[in-house]
Structure 1
């Protein structure tokens, strides 16, 4: 895995995985964590591709997906910016956490654990009290 810095953004690239998905996911994650501010300009497609040493079409694909999600907006002649809509980012963060929780629950349930097992373990971790153990 290679780490590359592009402006204020840091990317970890695994060349065995689709690059556009990694760019997309890492920008989404930075936005959700507040590492990228509302209205912040992101590098141009050309700048990003050059810095990451990848094809500009790969970056363009990720940027189009971000725009389709309403997370970025193009400003004619100025570049691409993170949305200024605080509400859109809040909605995105809520959707993302639900996706992570669903993924987690599906994985744990596929191991044969019941909701009661999961709930007991989560309770224990969240409060420090004796709950349940995943055995």
Structure 2
């Protein structure tokens, strides 16, 4: 698992850590039952404070994506590897756009226009 933080991102670091892990789970890089590196190892790899990493990890635990267990460390929770409903909503969006006469390219252009 390779996590990177975007130095140009203005979000707090703990939110970036949580987002990077959410994406790794959603993309299947981390599967249910997989053990994550320790907070200390993650903080060293990301070159940030261990408390910042722990704050991001706790956020994911509170969302039900991670489990903290003594002696087993931090593992990805069962069912966490689903794309948190995002992929389903994207498909629904594309289907609705198609129903309204828009192509996928039109939807992509609309999304690009949001940034």
When the two structures are superposed, what TM-score results if normalisation uses the length of structure 2?
0.71
Using a 3 Å threshold, how does the CA distance of structure 1 residues 100 and 21 change in structure 2: closer, same or farther?
Answer: farther
Supply the RMSD in Å over aligned alpha carbons.
3.1
Find the partner of 2:22 among 17, 28, 41.
28
Using a 3 Å threshold, how does the CA distance of structure 1 residues 38 and 53 change in structure 2: closer, same or farther?
Answer: same
Residue-pair matches, total? 103
Compute the displacement of 1:11 (Å): 1.4
Compute the displacement of 1:125 (Å): 2.5
Cα distance between partner residues in 2 of 1:100 and 1:56: 35
Cα distance between partner residues in 2 of 1:60 and 1:10: 15
Unpaired stretches in structure 2, ≥5 consecutive residues: 111-115
* Mapped contact 1:20–1:61 kept (Cα < 8 A): yes
* Mapped contact 1:41–1:79 kept (Cα < 8 A): yes
Find the partner of 1:10 among 3, 8, 14.
3
Corresponding residue number in structure 2 for 1:125: 104
Indicate the structure whose relative CO is greater, using CA pairs within 8 Å and at least 6 residues apart.
2
Cα distance between partner residues in 2 of 1:80 and 1:51: 17
Structure index of larger Rg: 1
Using a 3 Å threshold, how does the CA distance of structure 1 residues 15 and 61 change in structure 2: closer, same or farther?
Answer: farther
**More strand per residue:** 1
When the two structures are superposed, what TM-score results if normalisation uses the length of structure 1?
0.61
* Mapped contact 2:15–2:56 kept (Cα < 8 A): yes
* Mapped contact 1:24–1:65 kept (Cα < 8 A): yes
Question: How does 1:49-128 map onto structure 2 within 5 Å?
Answer: 49-83=43-77, 85-86=78-79, 88-90=80-82, 93-94=84-85, 96-97=86-87, 119-121=100-102, 124-125=103-104
